[in-house]
């Protein structure tokens, strides 16, 4: 079942770039915020560095490798093995790094912030995906009703199957053809759905789950 996630929690190396006297490289565990890293009061850029090996028996001819981050404060640069992936400010990212991976890899993430809530506070991971995947999947309230929205991104040799379950109870089935720019979908939820249960969306090719997402249903009030 996909995606396979390899969490890059630690150890990381950290270097504060904007210290007047010059920072020192120290070992840290991520995710964390400024105050957890001994940077309370520091304002400026910090570079986080992490080394990791090739992911086991993964096959780059059959699978795609994505470098992902679930949250940070004003990310500025991402480098993998010397290749610059982004210089745009972001709070989350996902980059296809399939062709950049080597037996030994070096990841560098530069973050800039102006408060003690700053940091690389979301999980950084290597995510192994198939040719198509779910993106931007979420539960939203519109007009007093809840619905699951998202996109199926990528390619497939045939239309894929999209299954949705609510508290392990099947509520929707449809086929969908992925596109590189994303094929949108909207799945209405039953009006009687309680706010505490979770919902699961699975993207299936034949008998293999190509991507699965588990979502909490938010508390909401009817409009």
Positive or negative: CA dihedral 50, 51, 52, 54: positive
CATH code assigned at 83: 2.60.120.260
What is d(CA 195, CA 46) in angstroms, rounded to the nearest whole number? 40
The dihedral region occupied by 197, where left means phi > 0, alpha psi between -120 and 50, and beta the remainder, is: beta
- DSSP code per residue over 95-141: EE-GGG--SEEEEEEEEEESSTT-EE-S-EEEEEE-SEEEEEEEEEE
CATH number of the CATH domain containing 164: 2.60.40.10
d(CA 209, CA 130): 9
DSSP 195: T
Kindly state whether residue 174 falls inside one of the protein's structural domains.
Answer: yes
* Residue 37 contacts residue 119 (beta carbons within 8 Å): yes
Q: From first to last of its 223 residues, what are the pLDDT tens digits of the chain?
A: 788 999 998 799 999 887 654 568 999 999 999 889 888 888 888 999 999 998 877 777 778 999 999 988 877 899 999 999 988 888 889 999 999 999 999 999 999 878 888 889 999 999 999 999 999 999 988 777 889 999 999 999 999 999 999 888 899 999 999 999 999 999 998 876 555 578 999 999 998 999 999 998 765 444 4
Residue 88 neighbours by CB distance under 10 Å: 10
Examine the domain organization and report whether 30 and 116 are in the same domain: yes
| Whether residue 125 is found in the same domain as residue 140 | no
What span, in angstroms and rounded, lies between the C-alpha atoms of 182 and 21?
48
Which residue matches tokens 């508390």?
219
Q: What secondary structure does DSSP assign to 83-95, as a single string?
A: EEEE-S-BSSEEE
Tokens 């997402």 correspond to 213
Write out the two tokens for 8. 């890059």
Coil, strand, or helix at residue 182? coil
Report how many domains make up the chain.
Answer: 2
Please return the burial class of 135, using the count of CB atoms within 10 Å of its CB with bins 0-12, 13-18 and 19+.
middle
Q: Is residue 136 part of a domain?
A: yes
Residue 172 sits in the same domain as residue 87: no
What is the structure's pLDDT at 223? 40
> Distance (Å, rounded) from C-alpha 76 to C-alpha 68?
15
> Which domain range does residue 182 map to?
132-216
Q: Give yes or no for a contact between 210 and 216, defined as CB atoms under 8 angstroms apart.
A: no
Task: Tell me: do 121 and 143 sit in the same domain.
Answer: no
| 141 shares its domain with 48 | no
């Amino acid at each position: 079942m996909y995606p396979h996630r390899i969490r890059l929690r630690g150890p990381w190396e950290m270097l504060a770039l904007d210290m007047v006297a010059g920072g020192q490289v120290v070992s840290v565990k991520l995710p964390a915020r400024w105050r957890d890293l001994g940077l309370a009061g520091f304002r400026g850029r910090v570079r986080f560095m992490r080394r990791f090996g090739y992911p086991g028996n993964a096959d780059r001819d059959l699978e795609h490798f994505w470098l992902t981050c679930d949250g940070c404060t004003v990310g500025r640069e991402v480098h993998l093995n010397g290749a610059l992936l982004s210089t745009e400010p972001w709070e989350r990212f996902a980059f296809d790094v399939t062709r950049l991976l080597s037996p030994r890899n070096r990841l560098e993430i530069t973050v800039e912030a102006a408060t003690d809530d700053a940091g690389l506070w979301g999980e950084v991971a290597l995510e192994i995906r198939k040719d198509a995947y779910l993106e931007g999947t979420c539960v939203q309230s519109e007009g007093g009703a809840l619905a699951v929205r998202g996109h199926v991104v990528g390619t497939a040799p045939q239309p894929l199957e999209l299954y949705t379950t609510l508290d392990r109870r099947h509520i929707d089935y449809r086929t969908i053809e992925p596109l590189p720019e994303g094929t949108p979908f909207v799945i209405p939820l039953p009006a009687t759905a309680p706010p505490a249960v979770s919902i699961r969306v699975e993207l299936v090719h034949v008998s293999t789950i190509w991507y699965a997402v588990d979502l909490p249903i938010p508390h909401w009030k009817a409009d």
